[in-house]
Amino acid sequence: MRQGVIARLLPPDPGGAGGSRAAAWFLVLYGVLMAVPGLIHAFAPDGGIGTIGGVDLSSDFARIRAMTAWAGATQIAHGLACIAVGLRYRALVPLFLLIALGERLVLSWSAWIAHTPPGGHHPPAHYGDLVSLPLLVLFLWLALRRSD
């Protein structure tokens, strides 16, 4: 029974093992780097927002904490999906890298242009977004090339 459920949850890759191995492993790393902050946001007492991000939580802590936990849950789910795709569904790696690139573009635009933090302080994730953009472009390009 147990194997049957796992086999149904993780069927064979319909597209076969094509594409770049490096891009697939990068997607796994990206997934881990999504899930770990998600765990912090979901389960740390302040969601990491105050202790790591430096945000003043003295006003409306409950609302900020609830939104942080929600964001953390989505990060965990997205991270686990990236890990599964990178390890088992190489045919989907380019699609997931493109989705990640779009997400990071919107997050970077929001953090650095549209909604800059008061006082100019940026949490570590804002810098990580900027670092991830060229890496996502590189690995998306590799993923779209012929198999290595």
> Tell me, what DSSP letter sits at residue 87?
H
Output the pTM of the full model: 0.84
What is the rounded CA–CA span in Å between residue 29 and residue 102? 17
User: Within a domain: residue 132?
Assistant: yes
CB atoms within 10 A of CB 37: 21
Query: b/e string for 90-113 if b means 16 or more Cβ within 10 A?
Result: bebbbebbeebbeebeebbeebee
Query: Is residue 70 in some structural domain?
Result: yes
C-alpha 143/C-alpha 147 separation (Å) is 8
Asked if residue 139 is part of any domain, the answer here is yes
Domain count across the chain: 1
Question: What are the tens digits of pLDDT across the range 27-59?
Answer: 999 999 999 999 999 999 888 888 887 778 888
The pLDDT score that the predictor gives to residue 32 is: 98
32 in a structural domain: yes
User: Which domain does 38 fall in, by range?
Assistant: 19-144
| 12 within domain boundaries | no
Q: For residues 13 and 17, what is the distance between their CA atoms, to the nearest angstrom?
A: 7
Contact present, 57 and 39 (Cβ < 8 Å): no
Tokens of 55: 């945000």
Is 102 strand, coil or helix? Answer: helix
Residue 43 lies in a domain: yes
- What radius of gyration, in Å, describes the C-alpha atoms of the chain? 17
pLDDT at 148: 47
- H or E element that contains 58: none
Residue 1 lies inside a defined structural domain of this protein: no
User: Which two three-digit tokens encode residue 37?
Assistant: 């902050």
Q: What is the pLDDT of residue 5?
A: 77
- pLDDT (average), residues 4-32: 82
Q: Residue 2 domain-assigned?
A: no
pLDDT, tens digit, for every residue of 104-141?
999 999 988 988 877 777 888 889 999 999 999 999 99
